[in-house]
Amino acid sequence: MSSNLAKAAIAALLCQGALGATVLRLCLQDRADLRMPARAALIQELIRLFPSARLSPDCPGDPGALAITLLPQLSGQPSDALGAMAVRADGVIAPPILVFVNAVVAHSSAKSEEALGLALARVAGHELLHFLSQSREHSPAGLLQERLSAADLTSRSSLGSPQRERTPEPVATAR
């Protein structure tokens, strides 16, 4: 998928709620037993990153929502993998969104529960953008860059919302 097409697809999907169409519904499955301050920061950052999404704190309460699953780790994953999604044989990127908490803790060097929540939300947001765009491509900067630094993950001001970062660029029309 071209960069402009991916940007347009992301913007369209994230703007659907404002147009009265289907709203992006997300839910959390916390299998890592996060402490409440980290979980609260995670939820706040997901809401900041995806303001048009509806977020449920638990998946059984919203069975149609896209699951963000927090796992301590997953055997068979590379040690530097912070998150993942399944890619089916036909190339479709499928849920759930997986976030590997132990790897995020190690990579981000989070010094507080709030910083850990920010880092987990940004990894989840990165994977969510792959799902929404149905692309494994990365951008040179922002939430969809291939390698998010510890500062990208934990700094209060390092990453903006996907809507602002991924606004479609004007497309030249053929004459």
pLDDT in tens, 10-21: 444 444 444 445
> Average pLDDT of the chain?
81
Q: Is the pLDDT of residue 64 over 50?
A: yes
CATH architecture entry for 3-162: 3-Layer(aba) Sandwich (3.40)
Residue among 148, 165, 171 at smallest CA distance from 14: 165
**Other Cβ atoms closer than 10 A to 170:** 6
Residue among 36, 155, 132 at smallest CA distance from 144: 132
Q: Read off the amino acid at residue 70.
A: L
| Three-class SS state of 33 | coil
